[in-house]
Structure 1
Amino acid sequence: MLKTRVITAVVLLLILLPVIFAGTPAQFAWLAAIIVTAAGWEWARLMGMGGVGAGFYGAVSLATVALTWRSGLALSHVWLKPAALFWVLAGPYALMRRPATKGVWRALLLCAGPVVLVAAWQALCLAREHGIAFLLSVLVIVWIADTGAYFAGRTFGRRKLAPSISPGKSWEGAIGGWLLVMAAAAGVLFSGLSAPTIVSHLRDTVGLSAGILLLTLLVAFSVVGDLFESQLKRQAGVKDSSHLLPGHGGVLDRIDALLPVLPLALVFI
């Protein structure tokens, strides 16, 4: 399993890194569109759609990306605010009430899926326009929070964060992830890095105190995104969203925490 996981990670990096650092914005946008399409297929499967239905749902996500691109709205904010609103309202509701994936709630999730996924694509395109350092700074918030939460949870974890959804997550882990993000943000600000990052942008536009608050919200919603997908998988009775990435599960398993963070980060700036 570890060997498979490492091989998959290396292959993904060999694809992603050249496109991020050497590719054109259009090439990056279409790579992100492929990721969104795969995630749309997985989203539909978690909603109980199989075969042709899930494939059609993924195609709808891709078509929405294509129409947004062709209409010249790729670098607008057309999908960001609806997606941000979904996460602010539906994310906490889902975790507190844990509604079953059926009826009105299932219909809402099926309607919201393309909006949420295409908004993540659009946020990636916009972040790329702000510069590679800015794009990476948004992604790294999630990766650092997840890493900090893992190690703090293993070392200090006592109180479960959401035992019925993800028994391995703890409040201590979440706090550890937040602290590591704050430490990394301080390091960026004191490093004198000239390239714009989300940390420097928030400091310059809303001030240090408000910037810390908004970074805290991003960390919090990275946890919401992770738990949200975990709940969908639990209700669907599956361990992974798919097996598209050998050793890693599915695409949604890798981007679940990014789905709320990307649109919210771009709305914040």
Structure 2
Amino acid sequence: MLRQRVITAIVLLLVLASVLASPWQQAWPVFLAVVSGLAVWEWLRMTSRPMPVIGWVGGAAVILGLIWQGMLWQGAVKEPVGLSASQGSQTLFLLSVALSSAVWLMLVPMKLKHADVHSAAGLPVWGLFAPVCLYATWGALVVWMDQGGIWLVISILALVWIADIFAYFGGKRWGRNKLAPAISPGKTREGALVGLNGVIVWMLVTSQIPGSYAEQVLELYGWFLLILIAALLGAVSIMGDLFESLLKRQVGIKDSSNLLPGHGGVFDRIDAVVAVVPLAYLITSPSLFQ
């Protein structure tokens, strides 16, 4: 199993490196579109299990729609008659960012608090959230890459990775009290606290590095709010992981799919990313709807 995980991880890193190094302008948006579509397919497989065709149709529609959207934003295709990219697709993207952020901040915590791992009631409704959330995530990462480059994107994704890694090892070392035993028995409150502190340290350190996400936050809000925002994003990262774990518990599966040998599915790998990215984008866009 370990050998399989390592091989898969190496392949994924090579694919990502190839995308980032590609001279083709559409490489990054298309790559993210495929990743988003596969995650939507897995998400919908869990929330509409009696009708698997919904997952296939939803995933394919997201891939094709996002590829077209990326080409539209970068001028590779003509805008439809009567639709301005700035007034149409951009507005739709910004609305998806706001809606995703609101759901992760208000509805997901309530779902986790009152979680029933033995009931699949309400899952189809959560399936409707999948394309909205993945669209917001895709758009934010595309815009960040276009405006700030690789370092800006990596600086925010690293926040998610640090929250996960620090929480895991912190829980191994000091974990005593379960965070959400019915949803994810391996997670502890102590581990979560270590993860949050890891994110805060990362944001404090990278705020001094030009072009980072934390630098933007610091310029907008100052040191005190930087720390609070870091803690908030760290907490949302943990919620993203717990949310997907709850979906899997409710439908009785271990992984969202077996697309990535040794790692499970695409959604398993980006569950925290799709929770953090829309909110992180909203935070650094205070004039979003002015």
TM-score (norm 1): 0.92
What amino acid is aligned across from residue 96 of structure 1 in structure 2? K
In 2, the alpha carbon distance for the partners of 1:264 and 1:244 equals 28
Q: CA contact under 8 A between 1:44 and 1:53: conserved in structure 2?
A: yes
1:96 and 2:138 matched: no
CA-atom RMSD, angstroms? Answer: 1.8
Counterparts in 2 of 1:200 and 1:59: CA distance versus 1, 3 Å: same
Counterparts in 2 of 1:178 and 1:41: CA distance versus 1, 3 Å: same
Q: Which residue of 2 aligns with 1:132?
A: 150
1:197 and 2:207 matched: no
Q: CA deviation at 1:46?
A: 0.8
Q: For CA contacts below 8 A with separation 6 or more, give which structure has more relative contact order.
A: 1
Partner residue of 2:228 out of 200, 210, 213 = 213
What amino acid is aligned across from residue 225 of structure 1 in structure 2? G
Q: What secondary structure is seen at the aligned counterpart in 2 of 1:169?
A: strand
Give a deviation string over 1:214-268, Cα, whole Å, max 9, x none. Answer: 1111000001100000000001100000000000000000000111100000000
Give the alignment of 1:57-72 within 5 angstroms. 57-66=58-67, 68-69=69-70, 70=72, 72=85
**Greater CA drift, 69-78 or 226-235:** 69-78
Q: What secondary structure is seen at the aligned counterpart in 1 of 2:239?
A: helix
Q: What secondary structure is seen at the aligned counterpart in 2 of 1:167?
A: strand
Q: Which residue of 2 aligns with 1:11?
A: 11
Counterparts in 2 of 1:33 and 1:45: CA distance versus 1, 3 Å: same
What amino acid is aligned across from residue 120 of structure 2 in structure 1? T
In 2, the alpha carbon distance for the partners of 1:74 and 1:134 equals 21
Partner residue of 2:169 out of 135, 151, 160 = 151
Give a deviation string over 1:76-105, Cα, whole Å, max 9, x none. Answer: 524211111121122101101125333xx2
Partner residue of 1:262 out of 253, 277, 289 = 277
In 2, the alpha carbon distance for the partners of 1:23 and 1:243 equals 31
Q: What secondary structure is seen at the aligned counterpart in 2 of 1:29?
A: helix
Counterparts in 2 of 1:98 and 1:64: CA distance versus 1, 3 Å: farther
TM-score (norm 2): 0.86
Q: CA contact under 8 A between 2:241 and 2:271: conserved in structure 1?
A: yes
Q: CA deviation at 1:47?
A: 1.1
Structure 2 unaligned regions, length at least 5: 73-78, 80-84, 285-290
In 1, the alpha carbon distance for the partners of 2:25 and 2:186 equals 38
What amino acid is aligned across from residue 106 of structure 2 in structure 1? L
**Greater CA drift, 225-234 or 175-184:** 175-184
Give a deviation string over 1:185-239, Cα, whole Å, max 9, x none. Answer: 233245xx33x11111101111111111111110000011000000000011000
In 2, the alpha carbon distance for the partners of 1:256 and 1:134 equals 20
Counterparts in 2 of 1:111 and 1:51: CA distance versus 1, 3 Å: closer
Counterparts in 2 of 1:21 and 1:207: CA distance versus 1, 3 Å: farther
**What is the percentage of aligned positions where both structures have the same residue?**
38
Partner residue of 1:84 out of 82, 101, 118 = 101
1:107 and 2:124 matched: yes
Counterparts in 2 of 1:233 and 1:41: CA distance versus 1, 3 Å: same
Partner residue of 1:238 out of 246, 253, 264 = 253
Q: CA contact under 8 A between 2:45 and 2:55: conserved in structure 1?
A: yes
Q: Which residue of 2 aligns with 1:223?
A: 238
Q: CA contact under 8 A between 1:144 and 1:181: conserved in structure 2?
A: yes
Q: CA deviation at 1:67?
A: 5.2
Q: CA deviation at 1:42?
A: 0.3
Q: CA contact under 8 A between 1:79 and 1:122: conserved in structure 2?
A: no
Q: CA contact under 8 A between 1:145 and 1:178: conserved in structure 2?
A: yes
Aligned residues: 264
Structure 1 unaligned regions, length at least 5: none
Q: What secondary structure is seen at the aligned counterpart in 1 of 2:144?
A: helix
